[in-house]
Amino acid sequence: MTDLVAVWEVALSDGVHKIEFEHGTTSGKRVVYVDGKEEIRKEWMFKLVGKETFCVGAAKTKATINIDAVSGFAYEYTLEINGKSLKKYMENRSKTTNTWVLHLDGEDFRVVLEKDTMDVWCNGKRMETAGEFVDDGTETHFSVGNHDCYIKAVSSGKRKEGIIHSLIVDNREIPEIPE
């Protein structure tokens, strides 16, 4: 990877993905790697600006690398996820998902709740869940190994805050991490 010009880390529900881009401005080469696996390779591209579109992760999320000339032989590389800049996508994602990282039985687990669908992901796999109504809200139950887990959803009582989601594992609350 001698022509590596950009590296991005993208947090999706199924995990954090590493996107690498090689751009040979003398050879016209363009190579896109996702998690170390080559997704696109183009040799001898005479047009040095443009875009490359590919998919990332289990949900085949659309990603596009834009290549723009800044001045002379300088180029700018920007990544879009689902048609939004990476920054905008991540800002929006922080509103639509909750993420927790926990350590169980000597292993790290990344649990993600997609608030719009109530899908729960753990280390890249969508979990089998069971929803239940309780006195103060709802509980979405699932298992990680032989540990009982649930995500509790309760109203904050404030319109701006909306619903508060908490992850409970073996009857203890796990703090959420911002992505």
Based on its alpha-carbon atoms, the radius of gyration of the chain, rounded to whole angstroms, reads 20
Where does the chain have alpha helices with state H?
A: 86-96
d(CA 19, CA 7): 6
Average pLDDT score over residue span 46-50? 84
Write down the pLDDT at residue 46. Answer: 79
DSSP state of 46: S
Residue-averaged pLDDT of the chain: 92
Write down the pLDDT at residue 25. Answer: 82
50-77: pLDDT as tens digits: 999 999 998 899 999 999 999 877 899 9
Q: Do 2-81 and 95-172 show the same overall fold?
A: yes
Q: Confirm whether pTM is higher than 0.75.
A: yes
Counting Cα atoms < 13 Å in the Cβ hemisphere of 85 gives: 5
Topology of the domain comprising 95-172: Lipocalin (2.40.128)
Whether residue 156 contacts residue 162, with contact meaning beta carbons closer than 8 Å, is answered with yes
Beta bridge partners of 173: 168
- With cut-offs at 50, 70 and 90, classify the pLDDT of residue 140: very high
Write down the pLDDT at residue 161. Answer: 76
Q: Which amino acid is at 89?
A: Y
16 has a pLDDT exceeding 70: yes
Q: CATH number of the domain at 2-81, please?
A: 2.40.128.180
Q: Which two tokens stand for residue 34?
A: 């996702």
Q: Where are the domains of the chain?
A: 2-81, 95-172
Cα separation values, 69 from 47, 50, 73, 162, Å? 11, 9, 7, 43
Q: Vertex 80, ends 49 and 29: CA angle to 5°?
A: 35
Counting Cα atoms < 13 Å in the Cβ hemisphere of 58 gives: 12
Would strands 74-81 and 84-85 be described as parallel, antiparallel, or unpaired? antiparallel
d(CA 58, CA 139): 25
